[in-house]
Structure 1
Amino acid sequence: MSKLTRFLGYERVLVSEAERVVALYEGKVLGIYGAGVHRMPNFRGTLVIERHNLAEPRFRSTYEKALIDRLPDVAARHLTVVKAGEREVVLIERESDLLVALAPNARLVLWTDAGPWTIRRFDLAASLKIEPLLARRLALSGRIAAVQTATVPDGKIGLLMVDGVYRETLGPGFHAFWASDAAIEVRQVDLKPQVLDVNGQELLTRDRVTIRVNVTAGYRIVDPIKATIGVKDAGDMLYRALQLAFRETLGGQTLDHILETKAGLKPEAVAALGAEMAAVGVELGAVSLKDVILPGEMRDILNQVVTAEKQAEANVIRRREETNATRSLLNTAKVMAENPVMLRLKELEALETIASKVDRLTIHNGVSGLMNDIVQLRDT
């Protein structure tokens, strides 16, 4: 039978369940054949058989276009053609197994019998965001090229910029986006209270002394869009505003006043600075003057002034104590003059003190004579 078939110009082609066959006769597509035995013309050996294993679900054939153009019904019965739009990403799955993610304008032809296929389309014009679970599935399946990810930590928010244009605000957490021809950027903005230091700011006081000051200010971003898109750098803007405010305020004060008060900005200046920063989404906190640094020569002069002042104070205290001591002696003398018994006690105390400091004491004329002489001296 096989020889007769070949003699008549035909050939039997066996196709298994796990494959499909594309047949051409005399250079023309005959069709697609499934499992079974098929009798095909093969006059003068012009039959061409192209076998495809369904384990490879993609249909790759040189005759794809000819097959779809000449036999559209056959192609529609055996092939699934998937085409992504200009602003569209297409996910193709088989029984929850992710096969491929088609980028915009991409095209793929699948064997229908290798399915069933689930096709999910995502409009990039509507949203570039991907659900976190789906993004992780794409990453695990090796389709990471189709995904762009960003993580926003606690205390911050993210501003989604697409082609340099603000799209939406992202909260803390994991975020994923479809990779496309659009430039995607997530700008992270810190919402926690922050401190800005302005160190070594030089200025000239009203009495023409050059000093350097260190300034500190607290602030917090309350409107991320204004603070990020409205200005180039909100922190740099606050830095320069603090420089100007302190230059204007301290420049109108004398050095002695600055050193004495160390008050920093006036309330009205702080209010004006706060209003200026509020316009760009920044809430101003406490503003204070930390340090005043003097030039070397001025520091030496002030040290000399302080030394002279302290010496003068010490002299005043010394004179006061001397006066108090003299006044005490005078009061003691008056008491003794008015009370002979008190004078005699003092004499005995003096004698006791002298006796305690010598090893031997010789008394002439007896103790009675000594006491009488002392009394006689006192009477004289």
Structure 2
Amino acid sequence: MGARPRPVGQETITRDNVTMRVDAVVYYRVVDPLKAIVNVQDYKFASAQVAATSLRAVTGRSDMDQLLSEREKVNAELKTVIDQPTEQPWGIRVERVEVRDVSLPEPMKRSMSRQAEAERERRARIIAAGGEFRAASKLAQAASVMAADPAALQLRLLQTVVEVAAEKNSRTIVMPVPVEMLRFLDRVSRAADRAQREVRQDVVQARPRAGLHGRRQIARACSACGPLGPWLAVYSTFWPSSRVR
């Protein structure tokens, strides 16, 4: 006799306390018609009851994730559990068991959807952070190379200007100040500050000396400051010595 399908559905609670409905199909074959008629009153109904009970028992020992992802393992366990009380006593052999559908309640579906969305967002952030880290590393390496070779930095600046000029909407191009010029201006500014402090110190030391000799020393000290010398000379002559720092 050919294998006959028998649908089985059961409301069950998993091991992790999730309520769900599991629908399965049991394919069985009558291998001993005498036992199927004599030893049981209605072998179809009895087989369905055994299948429903076994389905509830197996799902109760499994987690929700196992029922959703490990269908083959659950099917094999169901086949073994259902076949044991039906083949020898009733002459009914279970050929195959397949879990067809697992229905979750709506709150559980929404919770799983939020969890999956949070997991996708977490992975996306990790991927984005990894990309930013690699990009920052490459930029740091490029900055090190350009710092070692100023000509490379100048070429990069010129390339940027060319790219900006090639755009359709760019009508104004702001030329960047070369880095070497900025460094030179910084060195000049620091040197001027040091010279100004030294001149002020010399002026303070020469002021107490009266007469022409003292004024000549002040003039020589102020001349060391270049264009600021005449102004410092006037400043030192007419301003009280207590205000000079």
State the TM-score, normalizing by the size of structure 2: 0.62
Q: CA deviation at 1:249?
A: 1.8
Partner of 1:258: 67
Partner of 1:236: 45
Alignment of 1:311 with 2:130, yes or no, is no
Partners of 1:213 and 1:291 within 8 A in 2 = yes
Q: Which protein is richer in strand relative to its size?
A: 1
Partner of 1:275: 84
Partner of 1:224: 33
Q: Deviations over 1:285-340 (max 9, x none)?
A: 12232222111122222222222222222222222222222122111111111233
Matched residues in 2 for 1:355 and 1:302: separation?
52
Matched residues in 1 for 2:125 and 2:133: separation?
12
Matched residues in 1 for 2:105 and 2:8: separation?
18
Matched residues in 1 for 2:123 and 2:42: separation?
53
Alignment of 1:193 with 2:13, yes or no, is no
Matched residues in 2 for 1:224 and 1:353: separation?
88
Counterparts of 1:135-174 in structure 2 under 5 Å?
A: none
Q: 1:251 to 1:376 in 2, by over 3 A?
A: closer
Partner of 1:326: 136
Q: CA deviation at 1:225?
A: 3.2
State the percentage of identical aligned residues: 27
Matched residues in 2 for 1:362 and 1:308: separation?
46
Q: CA deviation at 1:245?
A: 0.8
Matched residue SS, 1:264 = helix
State the TM-score, normalizing by the size of structure 1: 0.42
Residue identity in the other structure for 1:231: V
Matched residues in 2 for 1:336 and 1:245: separation?
73
Of 198, 204, 210, the match for 2:19: 210
Residue identity in the other structure for 1:377: M
Structure 1 vs Structure 2 CA RMSD: 3.1
Matched residue SS, 1:217 = strand
Partners of 2:54 and 2:81 within 8 A in 1 = no
Number of residue pairs matched by the alignment? 181
Partner of 2:145: 335
Matched residue SS, 1:195 = strand
Counterparts of 1:1-380 in structure 2 under 5 Å?
A: 191-199=1-9, 201-262=10-71, 263-264=73-74, 267=77, 270-279=79-88, 280-357=90-167, 374=178, 377=181, 380=184
Q: 1:334 to 1:219 in 2, by over 3 A?
A: same
Partners of 2:15 and 2:60 within 8 A in 1 = yes
Matched residues in 2 for 1:375 and 1:211: separation?
69
Matched residue SS, 1:207 = coil
Matched residue SS, 2:114 = helix
Matched residues in 2 for 1:250 and 1:281: separation?
26
Matched residues in 2 for 1:298 and 1:211: separation?
9
Q: 1:266 to 1:307 in 2, by over 3 A?
A: same
Matched residues in 2 for 1:236 and 1:254: separation?
29
Structure 1, unpaired ranges of 5+: 1-190, 364-369
Q: 1:314 to 1:362 in 2, by over 3 A?
A: closer
Q: CA deviation at 1:241?
A: 1.0
Matched residues in 2 for 1:215 and 1:362: separation?
73
Residue identity in the other structure for 2:119: E
Residue identity in the other structure for 1:197: P
Matched residues in 1 for 2:167 and 2:123: separation?
39
Partner of 1:96: none
Q: Greater relative contact order: 1 or 2 (C-alpha under 8 angstroms, separation 6 or more)?
A: 2
Matched residues in 1 for 2:47 and 2:31: separation?
14
Q: Deviations over 1:44-93 (max 9, x none)?
A: xxxxxxxxxxxxxxxxxxxxxxxxxxxxxxxxxxxxxxxxxxxxxxxxxx
Matched residue SS, 1:253 = coil
Residue identity in the other structure for 1:223: D
Q: 1:349 to 1:232 in 2, by over 3 A?
A: same
Q: CA deviation at 1:353?
A: 0.8
